[in-house]
Amino acid sequence: HGSYNQKIDYVFKIVLIGDSAVGKSQLLARFSRDEFNVDSKATIGVEFQTKTLDIDHKTVKAQVWDTAGQERYRAVTSAYYRGALGALLVYDITKRESFDHMARWLSELREHAGDSIVVMLIGNKSDLGSLRAVSTEDAKEFAQSQNVFFMETSALEATNVEPAFVSVLTEIYRIVS
Ligand code: GDP
Ligand code: MG
C-alpha cells in the first residue's frame, strides 16, 4: 500500500470554518475518505483527518481540522487556528445568513492565523441550485474584495471538493517551497 513507509515532504494544516450545518464535516469526509453520510450528527470528537497527496512531485500530508460544534461566534479556540497555513471558509448557498457571516469568520481567522494564510471561500451544497439564496456573482465579488479564492462545491455529489483542497494546498506549497 502506497501510504506505508512513505516519505512525507510537507505537512500542511488546514482549518474548516463557517456556521454550523453548512457542510464542513461532509466536505472533510468527502476529501479524506470519499464518503458522505446522509444523516451526519453534529461533529463529535475527532479533531482532524489527514490525506496524503502529491503536489509537484512532493508528498504533502494535508492535516484538516474540523470544528467540534464550536461554531458559535468566538467559541473556536486559538489552538484550533494555531499553525494553520490554509483555511476553507464555508457557507451554504441556500442559507443567506451563513454567507453574511463570512466577513466575521474571516476577520476572526486573520486575527488568529495571520494575514498570510491561504483562504478559499466555499459555497457548498451546489447540488441544491433550486434553493439558492446566494448568487455566484455576489460570492465572487466578496472573494475578490477580500483577496481570497472562491469555489462552489457539493460534498454530496463530490463536485469541486478535491479541487478546492488541492488549490489551497498547491498555493501553500508555492509559498513555502
Ligand atoms: P457542519 O455542521 O458544517 O459540519 O455540517 P455537516 O457536514 O454536518 O452537514 C450539515 C447537513 O448538510 C447534513 O445534513 C449534511 O448531510 C448536509 N450537507 C452537507 N454537505 C452537503 C451538500 O453538498 N449537499 C447537500 N444537499 N447537503 C449537504
Ligand atoms: Mg461538523
Spacing, Cα 19 to ligand 2 middle (Å): 9
> Which residue among 20, 26, 27, 66 is best mutated to probe the pocket of ligand 1, counting the most ligand atoms within 8 A of its Cβ?
26
Share of the chain above pLDDT 90, in %: 79
With a CB cutoff of 8 Å and minimum separation 6, the contacts of 71 are 18, 19, 20
As for ligand 1, residues whose beta carbon falls within 6 Å of it are 20-26, 38, 40, 43, 124-125, 127-128, 154-156
Rounded to 5 degrees, what angle do the CA atoms 110, 91, 101 make?
Answer: 55
Find how far residue 157's CA is from the centre of its chain.
16
Q: How far apart are CA 12 and CA 117, in angstroms?
A: 11
Point out the least confidently predicted range of 15-19, 68-72, 77-81, 144-148.
Answer: 68-72
CB 103 within 8 A of CB 73: no
CB 17 within 8 A of CB 109: yes
From the CA of 22, the nearest ligand is: 1
Residue in the structure block whose three cell numbers are 476577520: 107
What's the whole-number mean pLDDT along residues 93-104?
97
From the CA of 26, the nearest ligand is: 1
With a CB cutoff of 8 Å and minimum separation 6, the contacts of 142 are 99, 102, 103, 121
Q: Encode pLDDT of 47-85 as tens digits.
A: 799 999 999 999 999 999 998 767 776 677 888 999 999
Q: Encode pLDDT of 24-45 as tens digits.
A: 999 999 999 888 876 666 555 5
